[in-house]
Amino acid sequence: MIILTLNCGSSSLKYQIYDFDKQEVLANGIVERIGIEGSFIKHNASGKEEYKLEHSCPTHKEAIDLIMKTLIDPVVGAIKSIDDIKAVGHRVVHGGEKFSKSIIIDDKIIETFDSIQGLAPLHNPANIIGIKAAQEELPNVKHCAIMDTAWHQTMPQEVYLYALPYEWYSKYGVRRYGFHGTSFLYTAKRAAALLGKDPFKTNLIIAHIGNGSSINAVKNGVSYDTSMGLTPLEGLIMGTRSGDHDPAISFYMMRKAGLTPEQAENALNKKSGVLGITEKWVDRRDIEIAAEEGNERAILAQKMEAYRIKKYIGSYAFALGHVDAIVFTAGVGERGPVTRMLATSGLEEFGIKLDLEKNKSSMTRNAETEISAKDSKVKIFVIPTDEELVMTEDTKALLEGTYDVHTNFTYSFQSKDYVNKDRMKNIDKDLKKFPGIKDIIAKPL
């Protein structure tokens, strides 16, 4: 069975084609700059050179049409016919309180997504556009929604409610929802496998650090608390988002600088974070280079971002009572040794001790590594996330009628014997650059 997964952003569309029978990724890629001049597709088919083509994509409909044509192209494609695709899994950022698991999409589901667009105005509209465009291209297959918020529906009320007028929650749905749930689900199950523990007897703190960042306290295998809130703005310092700050600052700046509510919201979402601190960079690799060259703002941005992560690790450690492992994942989490080092330094008294040399060597998306010191009471893992695999397995199970909430459902990657074939093919490239990886690859206990 071949399954297509789609992840629609406001101006981009990531995709993957997965052959479930062979347990292999046939192709993946991204269409960027949708609705903007200079849009293009970057496509990688298994066993073939990367393919890039500039192509006008005024809307997501043209982007999906471009993906379909590329997938069946006789030279760069990965499948013979669009009819080979048996189902489509769609990432949906916000499902509100209405969904605690993935679901097959119908007209009523789309109406529900439409009704809660205001909870994620930067994400859900693009998700909905992508779903509708894909349904037009592939009208004869099932389309499924995999929601970032579903994982966090296990949070207790005392954790997800804000100390605001209760009517704001009962009438308008104002509460903590949390995001990056698909990533947290995957990494939580993999961490339990590496620890050799029952996933529902495992406590974890998972830091998903990228352009968008959040941290998750996992208690007995389910989400207990998370840093993002009603929207993805709350919590950690991110690429362009402020994270935690005094909410009165917005009102203060509206009065002082004459900002409209829309301008204030835009500043917090698109002009803050490490970009706001450095006034120049978002990419942490650029910040790392600048910091090494002595740029004070770059150094400050690194320290601020890491300190916020450390504060959350500390608070979640006490909230959980016992922690089996700290997990770093996503772009910066997987390839940001400086951030990992700064975020865990000084936590030795709490049994969290990083091995500095192992940490430097862990620079790969193709292997799970252990970077804790031998005498660390708490394991520290770097686990490359695989949201697409979660989406694919959910979609297949929905099609076959075997799917359920993750507490009643077993994923292939929960097994200690699970092997990601595609990452195995690519690890040699990373080993050439960072030979120390081979000594820190995590092995299930």
Q: Where are the alpha helices (DSSP H) in 72-155?
A: 107-115, 124-137
Average pLDDT, the chain: 94
Task: Give the up-direction half-sphere exposure of residue 224: CA atoms within 13 A in the CB hemisphere.
Answer: 20
Q: Are strands 379-382 and 325-329 parallel, antiparallel or unpaired?
A: parallel
Report the distance separating Cα 43 and Cα 215, nearest Å. Answer: 31
The answer to whether residue 251 scores a pLDDT higher than 80 is yes
pLDDT for the residue 445: 84
Q: Look at residue 123 and tell me whether its pLDDT is greater than 80.
A: no
Spatial distance between the Cα atoms of 214 and 235, rounded to a whole number of angstroms:
7
Architecture of domain 2-147: 2-Layer Sandwich (3.30)
Matching residue, tokens 């206990």? 445
Predicted pLDDT at 404: 94
The structure tokens listed for 297 are: 């703002």
The per-residue b/e assignment along 235-257, b for 16 or more CB within 10 angstroms, e otherwise, is bbbbbbbbbeeeeeebeeeeeee
Beta pairing partners, 12: 32
Residue range 426-432: mean pLDDT, rounded: 90
> What is the pLDDT confidence band of residue 95, given thresholds at 50, 70 and 90?
confident
Decide if 384 contacts 334 (C-beta within 8 A). Answer: yes
Nearest to 63 by CA among 29, 113, 92: 29
d(CA 389, CA 186): 8
**Three-state SS for 13?**
strand
- The share of the chain scoring above pLDDT 70, in percent, equals 100
What is the pLDDT confidence band of residue 198, given thresholds at 50, 70 and 90? Answer: very high
Amino acid at 99: F
In terms of phi and psi (left: phi > 0; alpha: psi -120 to 50; beta: otherwise), the region of 116 is alpha
Q: Give the mean model confidence (pLDDT) for residues 212-219.
A: 97
d(CA 192, CA 203): 9
Give yes or no for a contact between 202 and 324, defined as CB atoms under 8 angstroms apart. yes
**Domain definitions of the chain by residue range:** 2-147, 196-383+419-439
Q: What is the pLDDT of residue 96?
A: 83
Catalytic hit among 65, 106, 114, 148: 148
Contact criterion met (CB below 8 Å) for 55 and 41: yes
The per-residue DSSP string of 217-262 comes to EEETTEEEEES--SSTTSSS--SS---S--THHHHHHHHHH---HH
Residue 148 annotated among the catalytic residues of the structure:
yes
For the chain, what percent of residues have pLDDT higher than 90?
85
Confidence check: pLDDT of 9 > 90: no
Q: What share of the chain is helix, strand, coil (3-state, %, to 5)?
A: 45, 20, 40
Closest CA to 372 of 191, 210, 242: 191
**DSSP element (H, E) containing 15:** strand 12-19
In the prediction, which pLDDT does 191 show? 98
Answer yes or no: same fold for 2-147 and 196-383+419-439. yes
Instruction: Supply the pLDDT for residue 159.
Output: 98
- So what's the architecture of 196-383+419-439 in CATH? 2-Layer Sandwich (3.30)
- Flag whether pLDDT at 36 surpasses 90: no
Q: Is the pLDDT of residue 124 over 90?
A: no
Question: pLDDT tens for residues 234-247?
Answer: 999 999 999 999 99
Across 46-104, where does the E strand assignment appear? 51-54, 85-92, 103-104
- Condensed to tens digits (0 to 9), the pLDDT of residues 308-343 reads 999 999 999 999 999 999 999 999 999 999 999 999
State the pTM of this model.
0.94
H or E element at residue 176: none
